Structure formats: C-alpha cells, structure tokens
Amino acid sequence: MIDSQLGIPQFVAEQLVRMALLEDLGAGDVTTDACVLPEAAGVARAQARTDLVVSGLELAQAAFRLVDPSVQIEVMHQNGERVRAGEDLFVARGRARGLLQAERVALNFLQRACGVATMTRLYVDARAPGSQTRITDTRKTTPGLRAVERAAVRAGGGHNHRNDLSSAVLIKDNHIVAAGGIRPAIERARALAPHTSRIECEVDDLAGLREAIEAGAEIVLLDNMNDETVAEAVFLNQGRVLLEASGGITLERVFALSTLGVYAISVGALTHSVYAADIGLDFDLPASPVDA
C-alpha cells in the first residue's frame, strides 16, 4: 500500500496507467507474442542505475497488474526513499509476456516520477543546513500528469504550491494591470476567494512588495529578483508576510536564498524540464524454444 502523502490515489493511478497502456499496447505486442510462449514465467528486477529518489511506484505496479493481474510484486524501496545506483527498487514475478508488455509504460511513469523526485531532492538538499525554506513546484506540469508530478515533488522532500486555478489566489502582473493596481487586485481577490485560501501577490520590485504588504497580501511572490533584492525584501518585510522567491531560480542560488529567510522557493524546472531517472528492468526469462 502506497503512503498517500507520497503518492497518488490508486484509482487515479489506474486511470492514468490504463490510458498509457492503451497508447502503447492497445493493439497488441507482436514481438513478444512471437518470441515468448504464453505460459512462460519470468522475473523482472527494477534497478536504479544512478542514485535517485523513488516516486511513482504505484504507477509502475499498476502497469504490471493491469496487464496481468496475477503478477506478484515485491517492493524493496518505497516512494520517498533514496536509493543508490545498483540497488533494486522492486521485483515483479509473473508471466514473461505480461512483464515485457508492461515494461515500457511502467518505466515511462517511474523514470519521470523518480526524475522529478530526484531533482526536487537536489534543490531541497541545496538549502543551507537547518533551513526551513520550502522548495515548491508550480503549475508548469506535464498536461495530464499534474497529480503524479506533485506527488513526486513531495517524495523528493519538496512542497506543493496551489494545485490549480481554483484552489488558491495568485495575483500576477496581468491581474494587477487589469485590476488597476496591487491594492484593488488584492482587495477584490480577498472579497471573492474562499476564506480558506491565502492571498498571494506577485511583485517585481520593492515598491510592489511594500504596496502588497500594506494591501493585505499574505504571501508575496518576488518575481525574478536577484539575491541582493531578495535580501532587501526580507529586511523590508520584517516577517509580516510569507515571501516566495520565483523566476530565474537555479540550483546554485538555493543556498543563498535559503539563508536569506524566504519562506518558499518555487521552481518550475522541477516539473517542466525533467531529466528521466535511469532505471533498468533486468529480466530473468527462461528460454522457450519452438519445440517446447
């Protein structure tokens, strides 16, 4: 059973995997059907080929199970765990055909999710020791896979930002222009938004920050500011609002930003530019000669 804090609900995982299986296997697998006897058994071992953080296990498992419900999966490392190159993530045992037919879909999910989690862990670990600054995702996620990638961010030690356009307020530059200024934008948002949502406002400079604080923002997103300006923003803020640094964040800047005391650093690259984790499936298959 997956820890739901580090994964996605099972019925969501199955729906996503079913969609991916249709894409890859919906019309069958002529190679496997030709080369592997129907009842041949096999073992597939998912092995990390680089150091990584695990995420997406529930999707990989669902892939094997939906192709062949009789497959047995033994998990060595759960979502959120750090794994060294060479270690096994899980072992799947069952009919060889099913293992081969589900392989690519299982890996496509797993490698992407582990990629996000591992990248997130890099950013999280780049913070100064003891820092409580959060590393968060953004809405720059892969269409259709937002739940997967948000879970991967959590598995990597990061935090989620708002899930979608309805779940919190984030006033951006265009909203400010349209509303006629920072204050009217924040006031209108406060008047309309669910009381369960904090009001976040994006600003470009310290004047904006000052205005946003005075207008009642609870979070201010410091957009594309360099470290010096962020430092000034923290000083100016005096702890009144939560500060979120965003835009132009690189791994190199995380240490400095985390020492400055921003509450959160949001990083689009965690999900929009994912490097797939290197994971291999090693098979142990019996030969099934024609005469067998």
| Window 170 to 209, contacts with a second copy (CB under 8 A) | 170-172, 174-180, 184-185, 188-189, 191-198, 200
Cα separation, 117 vs 81, in Å, equals: 10
Closest to 277 (Cα-Cα) out of 85, 139, 102:
85
Pick out residues in 41-60 that bind a second copy (CB under 8 A).
42
Pick out residues in 89-128 that bind a second copy (CB under 8 A).
95-97, 100-101, 104-105, 107-109, 111-112, 115
Query: Cβ closer to a second copy: 175 or 210?
Result: 175
Cα separation, 217 vs 171, in Å, equals: 10
The site map against a second copy for 142-171 (x = CB under 8 A) is xxxxxx--xx-------xxxxxxxxxxxxx
b/e burial code for range 145-158 (CB count within 10 A of at least 16 → b): bbbbbbbbbbbbbb
The site map against a second copy for 261-290 (x = CB under 8 A) is --xx---xx--xxxxx------x-xxxxxx
End-to-end CA distance of the chain: 39
Shortest spacing between CB 275 and a second copy, in angstroms: 4
Beta bridge partners of residue 19, listed in sequence order: none
Counting contacts by CB under 8 A, is residue 234 touching a second copy?
Answer: no
Query: Cβ closer to a second copy: 73 or 168?
Result: 168
Note the residue count of the chain: 292
Greatest alpha-carbon span in the chain: 82
Query: Cβ closer to a second copy: 183 or 253?
Result: 183
Residues annotated as part of the active site: 104, 140, 172, 202, 223
